[in-house]
Each structure stands twice: as C-alpha cells, then as structure tokens.
Amino acid sequence: DGPRLAYECTFVPGLSDQIPEKLRGVFWMKGNIMNEELVVLQNGQWFPEERKLIMPLSPFNWAWAAIDGTMPKNPPGHGKFYKDQGMARYTMTQLVTNQTGFTFQFSKCPGARRMIWPYGLPGHACEKGSGEPPELTYADLKAHFWGEMKDSDQNGQYTMELHPNTDGNSWLRGIYTKVFGLSYDLTSYNLVRILDGDGNPVEPYHSEYMNYIGDANLAFWYNYTDPEVMPMLKKERLREAWNLMWEGYCSQVPTPDYC
C-alpha cells in the first residue's frame, strides 16, 4: 500500500535513524486542500546542535492523489484541487520543477493566543513554553528552491505545532499569511503520523486514513521522465532544466491556463 511503500523506499540506515523518532515514519496531510496526501521526513538530515532538519524532495517521500478518476472520500476543499486536473497536475509538478528543499528549525513554542477563524497566530496549537531540548513541539518551516537554502520564496509563515497529548503523532501544519497587518490562518491542516519510526501503524490515525483514502490511487514522484533533465541539473544548467520540465508538464495538461 502507499504508506508502506513510502516508508520502505525512504528509510536509509545510518541516516534515518539519526532523526528524532517522532519525525520518522509516514505522515498524512489531513485536511490539506491540495491533492497532497502523504509526506515522509525521515530521509532528511538532522543537525542536533542546531535542532534543525533539512529535507530535500526525493523519490517516494511525497504522494499526491492520482489523476485517474479515483478520489478519496470527501476530499478537503470540496475536492477542487482533485477535480480540476490542470490544477492537480500543477500541484504535483511544482515541487519537482522547483527542486524544492525544506528546513525545519525547532525552538520553544511561543504559545500564541487562539483567535477566531479566519485569523490565527503562529504557535497557538502547541503548549506555551514547551519544546526545550530534547523535546520537539514547534518548528518554523521554510521551503527553498533550486538549492538556495539561505533564501525562501514562500508566501507567509509555515510552522509545525505539536498538538498536546498526542504522543508526538499529531501536528498542526500552520500556514499563516499577513494582509494589512492581520494574520490569517486559512489553509492550515493537520499532519498526523500513520506509520511510526519502525513502520508500525499508529492508531487511530492509520485506520482513519485507510477509510478516507478508500480505493483512490496515489502518485509518487521517483524520477525525471525526460533523460536530458538530470545531466542539465548536474551541470547546474538550471533554467534549461526548468524549461524542459515545464514543456513536459504543459504537453499533458487539459488546458493551457497553467502554462
């Protein structure tokens, strides 16, 4: 099944076992309005002194709902990003074409006050003051493109905030955007662990995921379909590689709106 494939194809002995246990395993992006379903953090690299995890997008560590007519039960956002094939395909390719990497910088939970939706502040879901080493309860998350790890082009602030009393198995994946000084929390979702660091099901989340996904198929990224892309990337011909990947994408979308 999809979670098992994700776990087995991303666990790297000597690397994955250096990552804190609560960050290993397979996570379900529950409530993500995009057609993204599973993510794996265990094939990143952990820097204990800095309390930082660096994770590249790599084969089998990200899964989307496949664009094949199958669909999970009651997908988030009324299924907009599942039904619109052009948007769904765009979602599936943007991380790959941008050579995305992620950093998770852990620190103490700020414990911001809760606000009425659609407003929200970073750190409102975790317990205030928690997260002293070696505990992990809060992280600022940044997305980086094309290996530029010092820069981030993301819009807004991304976080991971551990829900109390969940044994490290349920996090808020905060997505906060400021508009005219107000902080909005419109598209945050829950990141719940369905397989633990040893590959065992985590209940009740595993059963909940299996019921949700039903007969829907998943799509994993595992390689470039055009053999010219990888040589270009190795020679740092990034713009040429990017153009080539997008040409392949645009040849498959049903409408030209996303090209």
Looking at residue 257, its pLDDT comes to 58
Cα–Cα distance for residue pair 7/52, rounded to 1 Å: 21
Nearest Cα neighbor of 24 from 36, 39, 2 is 39
Looking at residue 19, its pLDDT comes to 97
Cα–Cα distance for residue pair 129/59, rounded to 1 Å: 36
What is the secondary structure of 64-118 as a DSSP string? EE-SSS---SS-GGGGHHHH-HHHHHHHHHHHHHTT-EEEEEE-----PPP--TT
Q: What is the largest CA-CA distance in the chain?
A: 51
Q: Which residues contact 89 (CB under 8 A, 6 or more apart)?
A: 67, 249, 252, 253, 258
Cα–Cα distance for residue pair 122/57, rounded to 1 Å: 25
- Start-to-end C-alpha separation, the chain: 33
Token pair listed for 217: 């198929």
Contact 252, 67 (CB under 8 A): no
Looking at residue 197, its pLDDT comes to 96
Looking at residue 226, its pLDDT comes to 75
Cα–Cα distance for residue pair 188/96, rounded to 1 Å: 22
Whether the link from the prior residue into 118 is cis, omega within 30° of 0, is yes
pLDDT tens-digit profile, the chain (259 residues): 899 999 999 999 999 999 999 999 999 999 999 999 999 999 999 999 999 999 999 999 999 998 888 899 999 999 988 888 878 887 888 888 788 999 999 999 999 999 998 999 999 999 999 999 999 999 999 999 877 887 776 778 999 999 999 999 999 999 999 998 899 999 999 999 999 999 999 999 999 999 999 999 999 988 777 778 778 877 777 778 777 776 766 666 555 555 5
Tell me the pTM: 0.91
Geometric angle at alpha carbon 143, from 130 and 23, rounded to 5°:
45
Nearest Cα neighbor of 156 from 137, 136, 138, 140 is 140
Looking at residue 51, its pLDDT comes to 98
Name the phi and psi angles at 115, rounded to 5: -125, 160
Cα–Cα distance for residue pair 86/71, rounded to 1 Å: 15
- Torsion, Cα 92 2 11 50, to 10 degrees, reads 50
Looking at residue 258, its pLDDT comes to 56
